[in-house]
Structure 1
Amino acid sequence: MYSYPIKSSMVKIVLQRLRAISEENGEEKKEENPSMASLKGKEKSGKGARSDRSKVKCMKQWSTWAMKKAKVITHYGFIPLIIVIGMNTEPKPQLSQLLSPV
């Protein structure tokens, strides 16, 4: 059996994709390097910072939910929308004329 060599670039790509998937699922991103926290600057302290973070998280979750619903509505509603628009034009065709390929 032949085994393929694993390149470090492959590992990095896989890790980036796994992080992106975990962020989409709403999991918290963990700090990999504690020294990076000091480079990011000081965070707000107190209850206001928590509510700001929760508002941002809520907005992200809401926008993700809304985009998923919009995708489903667009997927199932596009052809019926075209049929309705076609039936309201002049001259008014019948449904069979709209659906036939000729």
Structure 2
Amino acid sequence: MERGHVEGHCRGIHLVAERGETGECYHVAGTAELTNRELTGLLLDGLGADWSHVERVADRKGHDFRYSLSDKKLRALGYTPEVSFAQGPASTVGWYRSHPDWWGPLVGDR
């Protein structure tokens, strides 16, 4: 069992390196389609924070309304994600909370 979604992403890349066809394009994607608001909600939940920490900004010109990649070719090589998308943001937040020595010097004394 992989420890998290980052390991799963690396597993997908490794699978392509071993079994993929030269010149082919493989996406390590997923099937979760969320709005920016839904993703923000998941991150806030993981942080134990509420919406008062979010500052809404106007959409930029040329704003993309949807991002969608197919991982069909990667799955044909035998790939399956082992961590659900709902678990991903929570584990990322957990990692950063457990490793302030890694990111702390980047933000200084805030």
TM-score band w.r.t. shorter chain: under 0.3
In the superposition, the TM-score normalised over structure 1's length comes to 0.23
Q: Find the structure with the greater CA-based Rg.
A: 1
In the superposition, the TM-score normalised over structure 2's length comes to 0.22
